């Protein structure tokens, strides 16, 4: 029995869980030893709040409220899905929201940023160089609001920490119910990893549930050593906060880091082709920053035979649709 801390009811859950029959069939017809593919639709956790972040924010914003905070400060890339979800939910709940955004070029009011602006979040744009001193940027704004008599709650990039991790522990439990309902025992769960919280939560969640489903995270930035460290750190924090003993070295933390492409947020034509492939076959739309790369990587690995002995496997669609609109010209229509 998992004992959860306070949580706000913000996500539209349980999200749908369904087969990807046409994709499975197509890959098999091309000669791949392809397990039955399934998808967990965490792109449907909400409309404006779509994606994986709202699951973490259910716990983070509950903590912010319990601490009597009135201002949220968080950070991310200029097209951060996490910042957009925080801006929307924070506004809905009556918090002031301040976003610290890393902008490599002149920020365009499109995609996630457009929504941040519409809900009137305060936004500070920083160059990648300035963003390297993120801790001091947080400290500066905490002090700024503190002097105005506000109480701030700071959320790290991606909402990935010991509190946010609960979101994907709960999602692992939801997946366990999905598997039961469908009568399957998938050997692998695939998802995109960026700040490590989804990976940490799912890995910890399946371990707590005693399930041997292997979580395989496809990196969209940083290498597998980084994710080993980050996931370990988040789980250690979670275990200390909740006084749960965890043999972290025994946990199977698996990251594939060979599908990052040119850079974080930069995708080659093969990713846009993969997005079109899934959209036209199954009516499911991925994004070029996270899910498109993880999906493309998964298909490559299926074709190479990595999952040949599996009977069922699951792709977690973690959202990101608004990020596609920010790069729509690359779809070449």
Number of Cβ within a 10 Å radius of residue 184: 17
Longest dimension (CA), the chain: 64
| CB 148, min distance to ligand PLP, A | 30
| CB 289, min distance to ligand PLP, A | 7
Active site residue 150: no
H-helix segments, 164-268: 166-182, 197-208, 224-241
Output the CA torsion sign for 59, 229, 79, 70.
positive
Question: What is the rounded distance in angstroms from the CA atom of residue 24 to the CA atom of residue 33?
Answer: 10
| CB 198, min distance to ligand PLP, A | 3
Nearest residue (CB) to ligand PLP, 111 versus 319:
319
| CB 317, min distance to ligand PLP, A | 8
For residue 264, give both structure tokens.
Answer: 């974080």
Nearest residue (CB) to ligand PLP, 34 versus 189:
189
Nearest residue (CB) to ligand PLP, 20 versus 219:
219
Residue owning tokens 């920010």 = 326
| CB 275, min distance to ligand PLP, A | 13
For residue 279, give both structure tokens.
Answer: 């959209």
H-helix segments, 103-196: 111-118, 128-131, 134-147, 166-182
* CB hemisphere CA count around 9 (13 angstroms): 2
Nearest residue (CB) to ligand PLP, 17 versus 168:
168
From 80, 103, 154, 160, the catalytic residue: 80
| CB 143, min distance to ligand PLP, A | 27
Nearest residue (CB) to ligand PLP, 7 versus 230:
230
For residue 35, give both structure tokens.
Answer: 């397990």
Chain residues binding ligand PLP by CB under 6 A are 51-52, 81-82, 158, 160, 192-199, 287, 290-291, 318-320
Closest alpha carbon to 81 in 137, 118, 43: 43
261 cis-preceded (ω within 30 degrees of 0): no
Question: What is the rounded distance in angstroms from the CA atom of residue 294 to the CA atom of residue 267?
Answer: 11
44, 113, 254, 323, 327 from 79: Cα distances, Å: 19, 6, 27, 6, 10
Nearest residue (CB) to ligand PLP, 90 versus 320:
320
Nearest residue (CB) to ligand PLP, 145 versus 323:
323
Cβ(278)–Cβ(315) below 8 Å = no
Question: What is the rounded distance in angstroms from the CA atom of residue 56 to the CA atom of residue 209?
Answer: 19
Backbone angles phi, psi at 10, to 5 degrees: -115, -30
| CB 290, min distance to ligand PLP, A | 3
Residue numbers annotated as active site: 80
């Amino acid at each position: 029995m998992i004992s959860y801390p306070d949580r706000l009811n913000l996500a539209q859950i349980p999200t749908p869980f369904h087969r990807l029959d046409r994709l499975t069939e197509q890959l098999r017809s091309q000669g791949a030893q392809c397990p039955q593919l399934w998808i967990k639709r965490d792109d449907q956790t909400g409309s404006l709040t779509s994606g994986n972040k709202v699951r973490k924010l259910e716990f983070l914003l509950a903590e912010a409220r319990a601490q009597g905070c009135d201002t949220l400060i968080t950070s991310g890339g200029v097209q951060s899905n996490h910042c957009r979800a925080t801006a929307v939910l924070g506004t809905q709940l009556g918090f002031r929201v301040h976003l610290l955004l890393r902008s490599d070029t002149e920020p365009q009011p499109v995609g996630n940023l457009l929504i941040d602006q519409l809900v009137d979040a305060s936004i500070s744009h920083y160059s990648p160089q300035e963003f390297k001193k993120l801790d001091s940027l947080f400290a500066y704004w905490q002090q700024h609001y503190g002097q105005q008599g506000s109480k701030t709650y700071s959320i790290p990039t991606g909402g990935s920490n010991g509190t946010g991790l609960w979101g994907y522990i709960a999602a692992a439990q939801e997946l366990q119910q999905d598997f039961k309902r469908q009568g399957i025992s998938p050997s692998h769960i695939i998802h995109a990893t960026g700040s490590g919280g989804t990976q940490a939560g799912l890995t910890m969640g399946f371990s707590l549930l005693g399930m041997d489903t292997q979580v395989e995270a496809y990196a969209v930035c940083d290498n597998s050593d980084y994710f080993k460290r980050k996931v370990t750190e988040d789980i250690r924090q979670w275990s200390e906060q909740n006084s749960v003993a965890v043999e972290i070295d025994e946990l199977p933390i698996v990251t594939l880091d060979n599908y990052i492409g040119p850079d974080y947020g930069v995708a080659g034509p093969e990713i846009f082709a993969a997005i079109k492939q899934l959209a036209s076959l199954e009516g499911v739309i991925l994004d070029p920053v996270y899910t498109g790369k993880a999906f493309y990587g998964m298909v490559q690995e299926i074709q190479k035979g990595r999952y040949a002995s599996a009977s069922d496997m699951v792709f977690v669609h973690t959202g990101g649709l608004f990020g596609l609109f920010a790069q729509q010209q690359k779809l070449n229509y």
